[in-house]
Amino acid sequence: MFCLKLCSYLLKDWVNGILIIFEDQYAVGDVVDFGAGTRGLVEYMSLRATKIRSAGGRLSNIPHNQIAIVHNLTKDWSRVDFTIEVAYITDITLAMETMKEVAQEMARDPQWQNDILEPVNLIGVSRVDRAGIEISMFIKTKRMRQWDVEREFRRRLKLTFDEKGICIGVPQQTLLFDNSPERKLIGYNDQNKQEPFAKKEN
């Protein structure tokens, strides 16, 4: 029985390994995400398993029969999915134009121009709430270069926002005080229903 199970697992490993290689799902040097927190740099592949190096230098050996979904983060090209939340009172047009200018200027920099394929792939407002206005922006890069590009872009954008007085969003709350003598203190009971507290007798 044990031998039959072992053969079955090995057969699944080999079949999945052949499909991974034949379909060019990933290769040594790619950064992949297998889900469930399994993500890292592919260091070795065989027909039976894949070895990936993840956070902290941890090397994981993953049998191919356990791989159901593969997210290749560095196939052909990569992308910076950048979001930032600015204060609600911010001139949103100015903020977006500033982000575009910083990305385009960085793409013209000889140090970064070979890494950035499209400095502004997409930009727009993705959310508006009490904390501020969230702007999303995509920057298309060469494979494996998205993390370095994003770190430098964040640094440059912070400096430029400071120069132009653009502030980051922070949660806000408004408190209203009723000073009328007829006011009632409103509380919540155990059923989360509003009911007035008992009035205090003089």
Reported as type and span, the H/E element at residue 177 is none
Return the amino acid letter for 2: F
pTM: 0.73
User: In 10 A of CB 179, how many CB atoms?
Assistant: 5
Query: 32 and 26 in contact (C-beta within 8 Å)?
Result: yes
Who's near 53: CB < 8 A, 6+ residues apart? 40, 41, 43, 59, 60
pLDDT digits (tens, 9 = 90+) for 30-73: 999 998 888 999 999 998 999 999 988 999 999 998 898 999 99
Kindly compute the dihedral angle of the four CA atoms of residues 143, 147, 151, 153, in this order, to the nearest 10 degrees. Answer: 30
Residue 13: pLDDT band with limits 50, 70, 90: confident
Which residues partner with 79 through β-bridges? 140
Number of C-beta neighbours around residue 137 at 10 A: 23
More confident: 100 or 55: 100
User: Which sequence spans correspond to the domains of the chain?
Assistant: 2-72, 77-164
Whether domain 2-72 has CATH 2.30.30.60: the reply is yes
Structural class in CATH, domain 77-164: alpha beta
Q: Token digits for 59?
A: 């090397």
Mean per-residue pLDDT for 188-195?
48
pLDDT tens-digit series, residues 102-116: 999 999 999 999 999
What is the C-alpha to C-alpha distance for residues 39 and 60, in angstroms, rounded to an integer? 9
How many Å apart are CA 49 and CA 61, to the nearest integer? 7
DSSP assigned state of 94: H
Residue-wise pLDDT tens digits, 118-143: 999 889 999 998 889 999 999 999 99
Give the pLDDT of residue 196: 47
